Structure 1
Amino acid sequence: RPPGVPPPPRPTQGARAHVRAAFRHPGTRLGMWTHWTTSFAPMVFGMMWGYPYLTQAEGVPGPTASLLIGLLAVVGAVVGPVLGILVQRHPLRRSNLVLAMVAAGLVPWVSVLLWPGPAPLWLLVLLCAGLAVGGPGSAIGFDFARTFNPAHRLGAANAVVNLGGFTACVIATQLIGLILDAAADDSTYSLADFRLAMAVQIPLYAVGIVGMYRARARARRVLAAQGSIVPPWREALRREWRSRTRSWSRDR
């Protein structure tokens, strides 16, 4: 802490009480569902099933598959700072940014799964780039926890948020493996086998999106009760333009 700032008071409640209080707040649950929806698909693809899917199902050479998976890190490093600026400038629009990043991964996945035959390389590039956006996007979940919880409860709130993405990741990873085991007798899987298995991610996306919408509506009711009203997009953009105009006028 900065010099001269007194230490925070010792908590009067135990860890379980803080976790319960954090989970009950819709802002924390909004962060949890944000982390769930944005992070599970890139983790499943990058750490477990992406390479065998690309090489066995799509017929991509091993070095090319490695480069595609490497896009998860490269694109994430580029998107992260841009996303930080947008969150700073439009804090009341964070959930819309999250939904846009979810679409960046979900739409290419649906396109790949519905493509007749092996997907073209350009579509696989879009898939990996879209999934990469979810990595830095999941950090918005922790920003929800930070702004909706008091400081003494922030650790518990972050734990609840962190639970979202890793829970979905474990569920998806296991379900994909179980479906592949049931679809084939050996470790050689066809494109149809992999597509059937990878499709289990779509319901998990749906669960996360529905959870986000429900938690966001409740969090906005809490903000309204506190006197904070979320302006419509048109008003938000108008305020941004006025702020920029005044800044340009002062610089001149």
Structure 2
Amino acid sequence: MTSMFGTRQAVAIWVVGVAVYFVAVLQRSSLAVAGLLAAERFEISASQLSTFVVLQLLVYALMQVPVGLLVDRFGPRRVLLTGTLILSTAQLSFAFADDYTWALSSRFFVGVGDAMTFVCVLRLVSSWFPARRVPLMTQLTGVLGQLGAVTAAIPMTWALSTWGWSRAYTATAGLGVVLLVATVLVVRDSATVRSVSGPMLGLAGIRRNLRDSWEHPGTRLGFWMHFSTHFSATVLGLLWGYPFFVEGQGMSSGAAGLLLTIMVFAIMAFGPLFAWLITRWPWHRSTVVLVVLASIATTWTVVLAWPGGAPFALLVLLVVVCGMGGPASMIGFDVGRTSNPDSRAGTATGIINQAGFIASLILAGLIGLILDWRTPDDVQGYPPEAFTWAMSAQFLLWGLGAAQIYRYRRKGRARLLREEPNRWSR
């Protein structure tokens, strides 16, 4: 039997995979509403507290290529099961951690487990759905998974205040255990076998797989697409958005929270639209990304050049346009998928998926350094002009990304026309 998306079995497998990714995002984001409690519980400073976020992002980025290789070798089902087990165990460990070292090591393994989910779900999508549905299912995967960040806010706040630290985090670990069982029972790599294995790769094979994936201009194009469009919303949402809106733009705390919430819903809203665009006009996927990149950079230019604090309506436009970057970055996965054979699809996806997180780490660090540089020692907090300088660091990354996208889309188009002239046309 089929649905509007695909066979019922394919949809069931996808639903379980998305649920695993949803819980991974929830567990990744659960510390965002527990910062003050964590500082008190572990008796740590603000800089030590921020290390939790930096460590998780760093581990996530560094794990993407190894995870891609593992998916190509052992199949997405086995890797997804392993990631869910690691993530649930780490979250349970964090529930009972009572010192900083223990807590930090637990969050390290949360990052490891989290890194093993998204690539697996994308591989399952490409295996179980017809090619014309893959862009839509990929965007829906990202959109529904990000709801985990929203769920980590209100329900997690309630759980922490009602149940306390250990019980609240134990409950989130329990969700992972439930999904571990569901994955064992429901998820299959293909209709014929439960788990698919790729060829065994030694060091020479791994190097060859990485070289062949990275050598293809389509993989590099996908990498720079993800790099260029992902970081602005990520850095606003995870770290610098609230301080920028409150101290840099003079918004109230409530208004700042509303702006960040609007950005999350913008990310969700644009996903299906971009899926339709790239399905209808796959040749122009890089054009869509360049238009989004230019829109984000232009809106930031207006906000940063505005005398005094920007109007609230302009800041709403800013977060909506930045929200476009989330689904735009996922177009890079579609480019990587159509540029590589199935045997190295996981490797290519891992290479692309690390790009935006590397850019986010670079930007988050640059913003902190520039804020310290432009803030006088005798000033408490950060002045608005310091934020203007700091947020302008984004233009360096946008410039680099746009140049590379333009470079590799020319090379990628030429190769696609040479290898599959009947499939790709203007």
TM-score normalised by L of structure 2:
0.52
Aligned residue number for residue 173 of structure 1? 364
Aligned residue number for residue 400 of structure 2? 207
> Structure 1 counterpart of 2:368, which letter?
G
Q: Report the RMSD for the aligned CA atoms in angstroms.
A: 1.7
Q: Is the 8 A contact 1:72 1:129 kept in 2?
A: yes
Pairing 1:68–2:266 present: no
Residues 224 and 65 of structure 1, relative CA distance in 2, 3 Å threshold: same
CA distance in 2, matches of 1:7, 1:68: 44
Shift of 1:182: 1.2
Pairing 1:149–2:340 present: yes
> Structure 2 counterpart of 1:197, which letter?
A
134-143 vs 180-189, which moves further: 180-189
One of 269, 293, 303 as aligned partner of 1:102: 293
One of 360, 378, 391 as aligned partner of 1:198: 391
Shift of 1:16: 2.9
Shift of 1:122: 1.0
Aligned residue number for residue 240 of structure 1? none
Aligned length: 231
TM-score normalised by L of structure 1:
0.87
Residues 11 and 230 of structure 1, relative CA distance in 2, 3 Å threshold: farther
Deviations 1:28-76 (A, max 9, x none): 0000000001101111111111110000011000011001011121111
CA distance in 2, matches of 1:87, 1:210: 21
> Structure 2 counterpart of 1:3, which letter?
A
Shift of 1:4: 4.0
Q: Is the 8 A contact 1:11 1:152 kept in 2?
A: no
Pairing 1:14–2:202 present: no
Query: Once the two structures are aligned, what percentage of the paired residues are identical?
Result: 38
Pairing 1:47–2:238 present: yes
Shift of 1:129: 0.3
Shift of 1:227: 4.5
Instruction: Note the 1:104-143 alignment, pairs <5 A.
Output: 104-143=295-334
- Where 1:14 maps in the other structure, the secondary structure is helix
- Where 1:177 maps in the other structure, the secondary structure is helix
Aligned residue number for residue 160 of structure 1? 351
Please, which runs of 5 or more residues in structure 1 have no aligned partner? 232-252
- Where 2:408 maps in the other structure, the secondary structure is helix
> Structure 1 counterpart of 2:295, which letter?
A
Segments of 4+ moved more than 2 angstroms: 1-9, 11-17, 227-230
CA distance in 2, matches of 1:38, 1:4: 38
- Where 1:31 maps in the other structure, the secondary structure is helix
Q: Is the 8 A contact 2:190 2:196 kept in 1?
A: no
Which of the pair has the greater relative contact order for Cα pairs under 8 Å at 6+ separation?
Answer: 1
Aligned residue number for residue 237 of structure 1? none
Shift of 1:104: 2.6
